[in-house]
């Protein structure tokens, strides 16, 4: 599925950004999903 792989790529990029920003908070990441218009919450 192309959409799923795209979300995986975006998620990987977001994790890298979180590490750079020193914010490894999962709740903040979930809020980021909602803010970017993504209704999919990927459980970690």
Q: How many helices (H) and strands (E) does the chain have?
A: 2, 0
- DSSP label at 36? T
Rounded to whole angstroms, how far apart are CA atoms 6 and 42?
13
pTM over 0.75? The answer is no
Tokens of 38: 């993504």
30 and 38 in contact (C-beta within 8 Å)?
A: no
- Give the pLDDT confidence score for residue 44 in this predicted structure: 47
Note the pLDDT tens digit of each residue in 1-44.
Answer: 566 777 777 777 777 776 556 544 555 555 555 555 555 555 54
- Give the pLDDT confidence score for residue 12 in this predicted structure: 78
- Give the pLDDT confidence score for residue 9 in this predicted structure: 78
Tokens of 19: 């590490």
């Amino acid at each position: 599925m192309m959409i799923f792989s795209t979300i995986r790529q975006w998620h990987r990029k977001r994790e890298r950004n979180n590490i750079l920003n020193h914010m490894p908070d999962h709740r903040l990441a979930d809020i980021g999903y909602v803010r970017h218009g993504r209704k999919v919450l990927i459980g970690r």
